[in-house]
A and B are shown apart, each in its own frame.
Chain A
Amino acid sequence: METKILKLKLKIWRQKNANSVGSFVDYDVSVSPDASFLEMLDELNNKLESQGLEPVVFESDCREGICGTCGLVINGQPHGPIPRIATCQLHMRNFKDGDTIWIEPFRAKAFPVIKDLMVDRSGFDKILQAGGYISANVGGAQDANMIPIPKDVASEAFDAAACIGCGACVAACKNASAMLFVSAKISHLGLLPQGQPERYRRVDRMIKVMDELGFGSCTNTYACEAECPKGISVKFIARMNRDYIAAKLKSKTLEQV
């Protein structure tokens, strides 16, 4: 079977640095339908470099959908038109010959553009530092089987733990809210016995930092769940709301938990 080469028009957001004003630049590319989306950008960059032009800056690492580094807004959708995959898992066979493809960075006040399509997502790290951990005791390791965890609880925690921290939920949300990410992290730890000691402090602190970083407030549009490459469910946001209110009710001090 012969493979047809796709001729595409790309409109890519180019921005020199965080302080400059960006704009879209047009590129014409010819690419095999078997190429991945990022391979298409690699080819474009090779061409640009050979012409002595500045390549397009975008991020990637694992290129198999597990690290969360990649993340582009393709024709208005984070990680492109195909549900449940990261940008690196998107293939050109999903586009038609002659298509125009708009490629933008994740846009949020809390995710400032560093250059072109690369944004600063260190806000996520700050949220995790505020409470995305469990306390581990020193001493000999306990037998793992000494802590009984029901299968359904383990599965639910695992569903939440599938979050790769890519930030597509923020990018998709019309309010640039980070609640899906934060709720996934809170649930992944808070559902398991090991996460209990910090359970309420965790939710209180992580929400506080999330709010301070300038992410918007969730209004339950559920765009995050629809665009999340791992299909993280908004039921975790509901669970986080419960835990947050419980944290406020349980706290014995008048300040924070």
Chain B
Amino acid sequence: MNWLNNFLNSSIGKKFVMAITGSFLLIFLIIHLIGNITLFFGPDAFNGYVKTLDVIKPLIRVIELVLLAAFVFHIFNGFRLWLENKRARPVEYKINGSTENSSIFSRTMFISGSIIFIFLVLHLGTFFWRFNVHDPQQLADAHQYYDIVVGFFQIWWYVLLYIIAMILLGFHLNHGFQSAFQTFGLNSKKYTPLIKKLGTIYAIIMAVGFASMPIYFFLSGGVK
């Protein structure tokens, strides 16, 4: 498997890994958001949605494994790229003109990614852990999923972190979306402007969509 190793460790291989895992995560986010929207339709809708996921658990577990692999590779590879790329310029410029030649979204991928990662850990701890590991049977019987989520959305610092993370997620996606196409070799005068616009629309929908839930439930005080 020497050839695979060579490819994955080459500069183009590394960006290819970022793009392929990133694309998978882009699709995952759409499905995640659609599922979460059920929160707005009350406890029955949301609890029903979570229970449906429970019914098809074996399938969900497989998807979760792929998802885990995508996250691990994306995060590990992203961290490695950041480290190696720092080493490629040992002496920094005194005056940095990068605002003149590149977008803030593209330059802040590491920091936006890092904060999303911190959020992800917290997010898994609060929701995923409770739904799956922390006595799931009791939860399922009592239909408490909705209450747990809405409960967290009453904690001001949690909501604040959530919103900040979602804004940065939007930043990350805005660059990541079009960047994946570029890495796959899809760049043409004909469709690249469209891809960039679609990426921005996608990023805004994701950031606003995910942030709307904590904002709504925080402001409404968790009414059912």
Contacts of B185 in A (CB 8 A): 238-239, 241-242, 245
Contacts of A107 in B (CB 8 A): 89, 91-93
Contacts of B175 in A (CB 8 A): 220
Q: Mark B85-96, 1 if CB is under 8 A from A, else 0.
A: 101111111111
Closest residue of A by beta carbon distance from B183:
A241
Summarize B's interface: helix, strand, loop or mixed. Answer: helix
> Which residues 75-98 of A sit at the B interface, judged by CB distance below 8 A?
75-77, 81
Closest residue of B by beta carbon distance from A172:
B101
- How far, in Å, is A249 (CB) from chain B's closest CB? 10
Contacts of A129 in B (CB 8 A): none
| Assembly CA distance A110 to B87 (angstroms) | 10
Say which residue of B88, B98, B102, B183 sits within 8 Å of A214 (CB atoms): B88
Interface size class of A (residues with CB under 8 A): 35 or more
B28 within 8 Å of A (CB atoms): no
Closest residue of A by beta carbon distance from B109:
A219
Contacts of B187 in A (CB 8 A): 234-235, 237-239
| Assembly CA distance A77 to B100 (angstroms) | 8
B205 within 8 Å of A (CB atoms): no
> Which residues 172-222 of B sit at the A interface, judged by CB distance below 8 A?
175, 178-179, 182-189, 192
The answer to whether A240 and B12 touch across the interface, beta carbons within 8 angstroms, is yes
Say which residue of B6, B11, B103 sits within 8 Å of A218 (CB atoms): B11
B97 within 8 Å of A (CB atoms): yes
The answer to whether B16 and A251 touch across the interface, beta carbons within 8 angstroms, is no
The answer to whether B102 and A226 touch across the interface, beta carbons within 8 angstroms, is yes
Q: Given the interface contacts A75-B95, A238-B187, does A210 sit within 8 Å of B100 by beta carbon?
A: no
- How far, in Å, is B119 (CB) from chain A's closest CB? 21
Q: Give me the 3 closest cross-chain CB pairs, A-B, nearest first.
A: A76-B97, A242-B185, A216-B88
Taking Cβ atoms with an 8 Å cutoff, the residues of A that contact B are 11, 13, 24, 73, 75-77, 81, 102, 104, 107-110, 172, 174-177, 179, 207-208, 210-211, 214-223, 226-227, 234-235, 237-242, 244-245, 248, 251, 254-256
